[in-house]
Amino acid sequence: MNTTSLLPPGLPPLEDHLVKHLHAMHSHLADAISAMPDGFMPFEQWMDLALYAPGLGYYAAGNTKFGGVLPTGDFTTAPESTPLFGQTLARQVAQILQLSNSTTVLEFGAGSGALAASLIPVLRDAGIPVCYQILEVSADLRARQQERLADFAPDVVWLDTLPVGFAGCVLANEVLDAMPATLFQWAADGQVMEVGVRLSASADQALPFEFAQRAASPPLSHTISARMPALPGYQSEINLRAEAWMRHIGDWLERGAALLIDYGFPQREYYHPQRAEGTLMCHFRHHAHSQPLIYPGLQDITAHVDFTAMADAALDAGLQVLGYTSQARFLMNAGIADLLVTQSPAALSTVQKLLSEAEMGELFKVLAVGRHIDEGLIGFQRGDRRDRL
């Protein structure tokens, strides 16, 4: 199947084994769409299969995802770029553990294990006998984490289910953006349309899938209408799954705090009239583009985080919203400058990417929510933006 003519410019060609994988994923998706009563698959379900289908989805197959060395990885996260990120974050984690009278850290979606590998030694050096738990949905990534973190055994434990009565610190770095999102568009008549995927109507098209629309359900339409005005032609996302995940934290977090680190905006910025094409992005071999229907199973698909919605979901669950600020401000508050004194110029250049407003420093935010935390968190002591949520 030749998709070259429809690819965004600059994407590298696929190796033969990836072409084979793509064809298998196409068949899997086509069968799933054909099984739908009206041949319409909501985009949330498409994104879920493209990322997590067993053995085929992006996070379920064995292709390299993380890393800064071309051509293997698709993107680089902050913990991958420098251990100073995790070492600085450890200072905030240590305070949360002290305030919650716990030594347990739970990380969702630990990626390659880079964050844990840089964070655990700092906690140990601080005299904290940390129990580091990881909840990972990808069997492939779980195996890679176990290999990378073998030296920290038995202090690192992989969970198969959520804990009950958890006390400690929860970490989710670039987890929310990978949760399948609902895609919608405002029609000319002011109706909310849900965007989905169907089999291509033309057998001549290089891609076997195309976007389709149907009237949004009354609950979905009501929720979207409550968050933004009707703007004909405007397309965006709403991540109800991420909001449900946040509310669920309130069911099992007894004492402690969760630190959510991701790229996104407050709601009024998220649905700004000028952001009329939404925030959906795909990543393949360090190339970013906005065409999620190509390369399913081979590319990452993400949507920015609506931090207002996440904070509201936390409040709905009876949690405290403890702080919200930019990644740059959070890292400065937590003392990253103290760690830079002995660093090489090359290391300083990497850290600059984490702090620069033109790169990760401003786009990435940190949201802290928790329960029974009665002292201000050090990462938010200056520049707390909760009033903007």
- The tens digit of pLDDT for each residue in 108-139 reads 999 999 999 999 999 999 999 999 999 999 99
Structural domain total, the chain: 1
Coil, strand, or helix at residue 93?
helix
Q: How far apart are the C-alpha atoms of 91 and 331, rounded to whole Å?
A: 10
pLDDT in tens, 83-98: 999 999 999 999 999 9
Is residue 368 one of the residues assigned to a domain?
yes
pLDDT at 67 over 90: no
pLDDT in tens, 6-38: 678 888 889 999 999 999 999 999 999 999 989
* Residue 70 pLDDT: 44
pLDDT at 5 over 60: no
Residue 175: partners with Cβ closer than 8 Å, 6 or more residues away: 108, 109, 260, 262
* Residue 71 pLDDT: 46
Q: Ramachandran region of residue 169, left (φ > 0), alpha (ψ -120 to 50) or beta? A: beta
74 vs 53 pLDDT, higher one = 53
pLDDT band with cut points at 50, 70 and 90 for residue 68 = very low
Kindly state the tokens that stand for 73.
């990885």
Q: How far apart are the C-alpha atoms of 231 and 189, rounded to whole Å?
A: 10
pLDDT at 62 over 70: no
pLDDT in tens, 271-283: 999 999 999 999 9
Q: How far apart are the C-alpha atoms of 310 and 389, rounded to whole Å?
A: 10
* Residue 64 pLDDT: 57
Question: 257, 57, 270: which is closest to 171 by C-alpha?
Answer: 257
pLDDT in tens, 228-245: 999 999 999 999 999 999
Alpha helices in 137-287 (DSSP H): 139-148, 218-227, 240-252, 267-270
* Residue 73 pLDDT: 62
Is residue 208 one of the residues assigned to a domain?
no
What's the chain's average pLDDT?
93
Residue 98: partners with Cβ closer than 8 Å, 6 or more residues away: none
pLDDT at 340 over 50: yes
Percentage of the chain exceeding pLDDT 90: 83
Task: Write down how long the chain is.
Answer: 389
* Residue 343 pLDDT: 81
pLDDT in tens, 149-193: 999 999 999 999 999 999 999 999 999 999 999 999 999 999 999
Percentage of the chain exceeding pLDDT 70: 94
Pairing type for strands 320-326 and 300-302 reads unpaired
pLDDT band with cut points at 50, 70 and 90 for residue 357 = confident
pLDDT band with cut points at 50, 70 and 90 for residue 3 = very low
Q: What is the DSSP letter of 308?
A: H
Mean pLDDT of 63-67: 56
* Residue 65 pLDDT: 56
The one-letter amino acid at 371? R
pLDDT at 358 over 90: no
Domain of residue 93: give its range.
78-179+238-388
Is residue 28 one of the residues assigned to a domain?
no
Is residue 272 one of the residues assigned to a domain?
yes
User: What pTM did the predictor assign?
Assistant: 0.94
**Is the CB of residue 149 less than 8 Å from the CB of residue 130?**
no
Which H or E run includes 258? Answer: strand 253-265
* Residue 272 pLDDT: 98
- Which CA distances in Å does 377 have to 89, 256, 260? 12, 11, 14
67 vs 73 pLDDT, higher one = 73
CATH number, residue 168: 3.40.50.12710
pLDDT at 327 over 50: yes
Pairing type for strands 131-135 and 156-159 reads parallel
pLDDT band with cut points at 50, 70 and 90 for residue 1 = very low
Which H or E run includes 348? Answer: helix 345-355
Q: How far apart are the C-alpha atoms of 43 and 29, rounded to whole Å?
A: 12
Mean pLDDT of 213-220: 98
Is residue 332 one of the residues assigned to a domain?
yes
Is residue 170 one of the residues assigned to a domain?
yes
Is residue 245 one of the residues assigned to a domain?
yes
Is residue 147 one of the residues assigned to a domain?
yes
Cis previous bond, 154, omega within 30: yes
